[in-house]
Amino acid sequence: MSSVKFKLVIEIDAAEVYNEELGAECVSGLTSRLQDMEETKELFGYLAQCASSEVRIDIAYMDNLNEETVELLSRDASIDIRRRLCGATPFREWASTELLIEYIKADIDCAKTIAGGLGDYNDADPNKVAIELCKHSDPDVRNALAGSWGTPKKLLKQLLSDPDASVRASAKRTLR
């Protein structure tokens, strides 16, 4: 992680009259109030480099992230950041099949999010991801997959014979 510092600078008539470094709690408070818009995309990239996981979590929710910021956050050691990132539009537009499978194997909550929005991951192979999800030991993950409109029909039919009754019922509803 880069050494990034955030400061509050006040200028009066182009003269700097105040310059104070901001702590992580203050930066986190400011980050949560930023508007998620195209104009703040570059700022989000800097904030994603902050040592504070709370700041990075707030950034992981944003829709206006450039590819470099999404990539940086996708490698974050914090599982909470990865969990929030899974449902974010920029991540869904960017994530590869391999990365999604890595997330599925690493965390049940990420697996459920990916399963529930399988059709939203633009740069991933839904068949390969769905096959991995079908093999998941947690029935809640398989149930999310069975209820997802993005699940390939072939795999929905396979889920009709899942050992868990809820998974079978969800697959049946989705196939209707």
pLDDT value of residue 111:
98
Provide mean pLDDT across the span 27-48.
Answer: 95
85 and 6 assigned to the same domain: yes
Asked if 141 contacts 111 with a C-beta cutoff of 8 angstroms, the reply is yes
pLDDT value of residue 3:
82
Q: pTM (2 decimals)?
A: 0.90
Provide mean pLDDT across the span 101-123.
Answer: 97
The domain boundary, picked from 94, 112, 134, lies at: 94
The domain boundary, picked from 94, 113, 145, lies at: 94
Tell me which residue of 35, 34, 4, 33 sits closest to 21, measured CA to CA: 4
Residue 107: domain span: 96-176
CB count within 10 Å of CB 87 equals: 16
The domain boundary, picked from 67, 94, 121, lies at: 94
Tell me which residue of 115, 105, 160, 175 sits closest to 140, measured CA to CA: 115
Angle at 76 between CA 74 and CA 82, to 5 degrees: 60
DSSP-derived secondary structure letter, 33: T
pLDDT tens digits along 45-65: 999 999 999 999 999 999 999
- Identify the band that residue 2 occupies on the pLDDT scale cut at 50, 70 and 90: low
pLDDT value of residue 1:
54
Res. 132: pLDDT tops 90 = yes
1 and 78 assigned to the same domain: yes
Res. 15: pLDDT tops 90 = yes
